């Protein structure tokens, strides 16, 4: 029995800022002070507030230490663990009240409006210990489903809950299961899509790192519902921590007989394997994913037949996303009505977003459907650094679109996002401020899809490439107004004719920026100017001869030798030689250099 | 896993461990003074005795935690117990031997052991 638990974040974010060394330092220091029988160090999954990592939480007080460094560990052990005095100086400042008392995490702006269902165990349990998962009602839902419910009842419960696919498209999960259950076959499969590929998205990774058993349990429930006996988790090899924790979890579940034959003494048998993906974005598309599991090159195939009829190895198959699965055990335990009571009319429950870009509280948030973008950005996200203005947010990554500042009060759910030309996507949410050029952003996402297009169908392979060339023409200052019409026409063509979701959604970032920020495109074309000052070809650095004192600093900083002038005389930039690196502007002490 | 009972057994066994992480409002708090004065007077064995006794009796909803010096150094080791909806009770000059009685009579029975409290010591 340990009186105190030191929870050190072992998610990818904190691990990359050396949280493992911090955990080791705690273990060493605790041993040195002789507290090893009283205090236990546990490596957890992601707490969500990645911007403040590495994070260490000490229970029973629930003290939230942020940005912990190795050299802080001794002080925390000596003061907090040995003498019971939390080191307020090192705590997350929002948890420390004015009178120096410590507030609960739930009272901080970041956590206050969150509702954690899919992430409920992340940061709370040791993901490498099945007993801790069981202590928080783990595998109770599987037990309930197998011993008290028929497969039909399980499907009906998921249907009634209104759960929709969290991978992006938002197809009703229960319906998917119902179709697969209705198809008779000697073998059926249950698959999990953990091939999270959107730039800036890390929801699925964090769930697998923080609570791997929830995915195993939900897949077993799904297998029981549709009559499958084998499952596969398709996960990218670029997620080593998630792969490792999931491997441990599967091993533990097998040892406990929660995977294998006659689970809970019933006739139900189910086993699970991991398939590593090589990180191709297209393998997040369901048919390409299954082709890849079969050992072939990851390319999509036409639908129909849908996977529920002919999926993996031509057998009826269901494929759900990690986050979708993470909701299932709670729905079985607490009932469809409980889940359906949260969210909006057509989007029930919560959604996890990976908050990134120009935002103070970078991290992982889970909010009820219907929360406005304003709440996410201004309250949970803590606003935009440097007092800059919010310009837009990109949801759905390279398949989604942007939400401009004028629509910041839109309640976020599947249908509202589609209506404004974006999509839920898997949950990446990238915030952009006034320094972001929207043409450049559209170009960035398109470069990604051009790279990731598998090349099987022409509209996607050639179309996205041509679309990118048109955009590049504009950012180079060579675009014409006719190009805008061409872009729209080509984009619609790619959407309508591509084989799979990758191509069908690839033009979305272009179309939505064109819809909301057309004036920026026009400015690039007509005035050869990039209003945000991002597109290098359209930038010119200038020295104000009145402000310039002739200190020569800029001339010495210029790597291209583009600045000339004599001492104490105003200098001049030769725009033909200038490489637009901005080094001169950084060096100037008199604010004499401007770009535009 | 052959039955739901097996699962429930693991859950119950682990419940105490994870209770430490649930700072609910209806928990009982056992706070041991662990400043230099407390430690010097022998607060650590008292703290450990509480942890062990609570584990042995499988009590749930009880948190054992520590605090600094409350200024009554001559009475250390001091232990404060707060039960939901009740006044705080302050025990003074605690020893590991006294702990089992406090757990049995106060935490389980709901009746403070008056003779160990600060009120009795001051008289």
Q: Give the DSSP H/E element, type plus range, for residue A182.
A: helix A173-182
B-facing residues of A in 413-472 (CB < 8 A) are: none
Partner residue facing A264 (CB), from B2, B17, B47? B2
Residue with tokens 């009826």: A316
Same domain membership, residue A207 and residue A321: yes
A562 within domain boundaries: yes
By residue range, what is the domain housing residue A499?
A: 438-526
Partner residue facing A134 (CB), from B11, B23, B54? B11
Partner residue facing A264 (CB), from B4, B34, B52? B4
Same domain membership, residue A355 and residue A333: no
Same domain membership, residue A417 and residue A444: no
Rounded Cα–Cα distance for residues A57 and A42 (Å): 10
Task: Provide the number of CB pairs (under 8 Å) joining chain A to chain B.
Answer: 97
Q: Is B71 within 8 Å of B80 (Cβ atoms)?
A: no
Can you give the pTM of this predicted structure?
0.88
| pLDDT beyond 60 at B24 | no
Same domain membership, residue A581 and residue A449: no
The domain total for chain A is: 5
Count of CB atoms situated within 10 Å of the CB of A591: 9
Same domain membership, residue A377 and residue A308: no
Identify which of A220, A210, A73 has the alpha carbon closest to the alpha carbon of residue A151.
A220
Interchain pair A83, B16: CB under 8 A:
no
Interchain pair B68, A83: CB under 8 A:
yes
Among the ranges given (A148-162, A528-542, B28-42, B59-73), the one the predictor scored with the smallest mean pLDDT? B59-73
DSSP string, A73-111: HHHHIIIIIIH----GGGB-GGGB-TTSPBPPGGGSHHH
**Cα–Cα distance list, A227 to A230, A325, B4, B90 (Å):** 10, 17, 21, 60
Boundary-marking domain end, from A57, A73, A107? A107
Q: For residue B53, what are its two tokens?
A: 């006794």
Minimal-distance CA residue of chain B relative to A124: B21
Q: Give the DSSP H/E element, type plus range, for residue A563.
A: strand A563-564
Boundary-marking domain end, from A308, A339, A370? A339
Interchain pair B65, A139: CB under 8 A:
no
Q: Where are the beta strands (DSSP E) in A324-422?
A: 350-357, 363-368, 390-395, 401-404
B-facing residues of A in 139-178 (CB < 8 A) are: 139-140, 143, 147
Q: Is A118 within 8 Å of A366 (Cβ atoms)?
A: yes
Residues of chain A in contact with residue B52, where contact means CB-CB under 8 angstroms, are 1
Rounded Cα–Cα distance for residues B64 and A250 (Å): 34
Rounded Cα–Cα distance for residues A495 and B21 (Å): 50
Residue A211 pLDDT = 96
Same domain membership, residue A576 and residue A427: no
Boundary-marking domain end, from A409, A433, A457? A433
Q: Is A284 within 8 Å of A246 (Cβ atoms)?
A: no
State the maximum Cα–Cα separation within chain A, in Å, rounded to a whole number. 90
The domain total for chain B is: 1
Minimal-distance CA residue of chain A relative to B61: A60
Same domain membership, residue A398 and residue A294: no
Residues 6+ apart with CB under 8 A from A11: A44, A45, A46, A47, A50, A53, A122, A206, A209, A210, A241
A261 within domain boundaries: yes
pLDDT in tens, A383-429: 999 999 999 999 988 999 999 999 999 999 999 999 998 888 888 99
Closest-CA distance, B16 to chain A, in angstroms, reads: 8
Candidates B2, B18, B78: best to mutate against A (most CBs of A within 10 A) is B18
Minimal-distance CA residue of chain A relative to B2: A264
Helix (H, G, I), strand (E, B) or coil at A384: coil
Residues of chain A in contact with residue B23, where contact means CB-CB under 8 angstroms, are 59-62, 104
B-facing residues of A in 69-88 (CB < 8 A) are: 82-85
- Which pLDDT band, with edges at 50, 70 and 90, does B25 fall under? low
Partner residue facing A83 (CB), from B2, B14, B35? B35
Using the 8-state DSSP alphabet, how is residue A176 labeled? H
A119 within domain boundaries: no
Domain CATH number, residue A577: 3.30.70.20
Partner residue facing B2 (CB), from A136, A137, A265? A265
Interchain pair B20, A60: CB under 8 A:
yes
Rounded Cα–Cα distance for residues A288 and A300 (Å): 4
Rounded Cα–Cα distance for residues A584 and A581 (Å): 8
Residue B37 pLDDT = 87
Interface of B with A (CB under 8 A): 1-4, 7, 10-11, 13-18, 20-21, 23, 32-36, 39, 47-48, 51-52, 54-55, 63-68
Backbone phi and psi for residue A194, each to the nearest 5 degrees, phi listed first: -115, 30
Mean pLDDT of each 10-residue bin along chain A, 596 residues long = 90 92 96 91 93 92 92 94 88 86 83 92 93 94 97 97 91 96 96 91 94 97 97 95 96 96 96 94 94 95 94 96 97 96 95 94 94 95 93 92 94 92 88 94 96 95 97 95 96 96 95 96 94 88 91 92 92 90 90 86
Candidates B20, B30, B65: best to mutate against A (most CBs of A within 10 A) is B20
Identify which of B17, B93, B75, B77 has the alpha carbon closest to the alpha carbon of residue B44.
B77
Same domain membership, residue A422 and residue A517: no
Interchain pair A60, B51: CB under 8 A:
no
DSSP string, chain B: ---HHHHHHHHHHHHHHHHTT---TT-EEEEEE-SHHHHHTTHHHHHHHHHHHHHHTT--SEEEEEE---S-GGG-S-EEEE-TTS--EEE-S--HHHHHHIIIIIIIT----GGGBHHHHH-
Candidates B2, B3, B4: best to mutate against A (most CBs of A within 10 A) is B4
Domain CATH number, residue A385: 3.10.20.600
Interchain pair A1, B54: CB under 8 A:
yes
Residue A216 pLDDT = 98
Domain CATH number, residue A446: 1.20.1440.230
A133: left (phi over 0), alpha (psi -120 to 50) or beta: alpha
Interchain pair B51, A135: CB under 8 A:
no
Domain CATH number, residue A65: 3.40.30.10
Partner residue facing B1 (CB), from A59, A132, A257? A257
Same domain membership, residue A194 and residue A324: yes
Interchain pair A135, B18: CB under 8 A:
yes
Partner residue facing A257 (CB), from B2, B13, B21? B2
By residue range, what is the domain housing residue B38?
A: 4-122
Q: Give the DSSP H/E element, type plus range, for residue A542.
A: strand A541-543
Rounded Cα–Cα distance for residues B94 and B38 (Å): 10
DSSP string, A288-328: HHHHHHTTS------SSSPTTTS-GGGS-EEEEEHHHHHHH
Candidates B12, B17, B39, B47: best to mutate against A (most CBs of A within 10 A) is B17
Candidates A81, A134, A137: best to mutate against B (most CBs of B within 10 A) is A134
Q: What mean pLDDT do residues B42-61 have?
A: 88
Same domain membership, residue A36 and residue A97: yes
Interchain pair B48, A258: CB under 8 A:
no
| pLDDT beyond 70 at B23 | no
Minimal-distance CA residue of chain A relative to B36: A83
A479 within domain boundaries: yes
Question: Around A559, how many Cα atoms within 13 Å sit in the side-chain half-sphere?
Answer: 5
Domain CATH number, residue B41: 3.40.30.10
Residue A480 sits at the chain B interface (C-beta within 8 Å)? no
Same domain membership, residue A304 and residue A211: yes
Same domain membership, residue A97 and residue A55: yes
A124 within domain boundaries: no
């Amino acid at each position: 029995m340990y009186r105190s638990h030191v929870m050190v974040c072992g998610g990818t974010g904190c691990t990359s800022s050396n949280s493992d060394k911090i955990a080791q330092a705690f273990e060493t220091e605790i041993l040195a002070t002789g507290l090893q029988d009283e205090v236990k160090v546990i490596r957890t999954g992601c707490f969500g507030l990645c911007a403040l990592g590495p994070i260490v939480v000490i229970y029973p007080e629930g003290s939230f230490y942020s940005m912990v460094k190795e050299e802080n560990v001794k002080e925390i052990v000596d003061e907090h663990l040995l003498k019971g005095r939390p080191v307020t100086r090192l705590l997350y400042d929002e948890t420390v009240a004015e009178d120096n008392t410590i507030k609960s995490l739930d009272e901080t702006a970041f956590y206050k409006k969150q509702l954690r269902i899919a992430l409920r165990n992340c940061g709370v349990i040791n993901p490498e210990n099945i007993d801790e998962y069981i202590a928080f009602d783990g595998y109770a839902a599987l037990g309930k489903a197998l011993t008290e419910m028929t497969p039909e009842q399980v499907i009906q419960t998921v249907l009634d809950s209104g759960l929709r696919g969290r991978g992006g498209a938002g197809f009703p999960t229960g319906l998917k299961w119902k179709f697969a259950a209705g198809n008779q076959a000697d073998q059926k499969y249950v698959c999990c899509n953990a091939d999270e590929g959107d730039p800036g998205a890390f929801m699925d990774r964090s769930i697998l790192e923080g609570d791997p058993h929830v995915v195993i349990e939900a897949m077993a429930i799904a297998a029981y519902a549709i009559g499958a006996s084998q499952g596969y988790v398709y996960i990218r090899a670029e997620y080593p921590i998630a792969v490792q924790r999931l491997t441990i979890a599967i091993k533990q579940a097998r040892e406990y007989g929660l995977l294998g034959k006659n689970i809970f003494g019933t006739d139900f048998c189910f086993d699970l394997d991991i398939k590593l993906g090589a990180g191709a974005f297209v393998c997040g598309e369901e048919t390409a994913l299954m082709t890849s599991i079969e050992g072939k090159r990851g390319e999509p195939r036409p639908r129909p037949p849908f996977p529920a009829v002919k999926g993996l190895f031509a057998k009826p198959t269901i494929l759900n996303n990690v986050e979708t699965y993470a909701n299932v055990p709670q729905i079985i335990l607490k009932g469809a009505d409980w889940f359906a009571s949260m969210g909006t009319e057509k989007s029930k429950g919560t959604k996890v977003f990976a908050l990134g870009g120009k935002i103070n509280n970078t991290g992982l948030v889970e909010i009820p459907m219907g929360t406005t973008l304003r709440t996410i950005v201004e309250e949970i996200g803590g606003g935009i650094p440097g007092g800059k203005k919010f310009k837009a947010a990109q949801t759905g990554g390279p398949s989604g679109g942007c939400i401009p500042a004028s629509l910041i009060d839109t309640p976020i759910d599947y249908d509202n996002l589609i209506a404004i030309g974006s999509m839920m996507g898997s949950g990446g949410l990238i915030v952009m401020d006034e320094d972001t050029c929207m043409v450049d952003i559209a170009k960035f996402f398109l470069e990604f899809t051009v790279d990731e297009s598998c090349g099987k169908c022409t509209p996607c392979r050639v179309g996205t490439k041509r679309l990118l060339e048109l955009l590049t023409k504009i950012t180079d200052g060579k675009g014409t107004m006719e190009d805008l019409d061409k872009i729209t026409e080509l984009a619609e063509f790619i959407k309508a004719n591509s084989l799979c979701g990758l191509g069908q959604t690839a033009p979305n970032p272009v179309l939505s920026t064109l819809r909301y920020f057309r004036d920026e495109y026009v400015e690039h074309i007509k005035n050869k100017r990039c209003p945000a000052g991002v597109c290098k070809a359209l930038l010119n650095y200038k020295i104000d001869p009145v402000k310039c004192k002739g200190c020569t600093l800029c001339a010495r900083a210029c790597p291209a030798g583009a600045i000339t002038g004599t001492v104490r005389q105003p200098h001049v930039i030769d725009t033909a030689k200038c490489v637009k690196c901005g080094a001169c502007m950084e060096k100037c002490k008199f604010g004499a250099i401007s770009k535009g | 896993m052959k039955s739901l009972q097996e699962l429930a057994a693991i859950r119950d066994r682990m419940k105490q461990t994870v209770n430490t992480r649930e700072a609910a409002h209806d928990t009982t708090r056992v706070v041991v003074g662990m400043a230099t004065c407390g430690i010097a007077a022998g607060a650590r064995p008292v703290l450990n005795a509480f942890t062990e006794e609570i584990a042995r009796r499988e009590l749930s909803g009880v948190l054992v935690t520590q605090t600094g010096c409350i200024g009554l150094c001559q009475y250390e080791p001091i232990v404060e117990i707060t039960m939901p909806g009740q006044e705080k009770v302050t025990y003074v000059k605690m020893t590991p031997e006294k702990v089992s009685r406090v757990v049995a009579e106060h935490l389980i029975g709901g009746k403070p052991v008056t003779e160990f409290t600060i009120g009795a010591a001051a008289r």
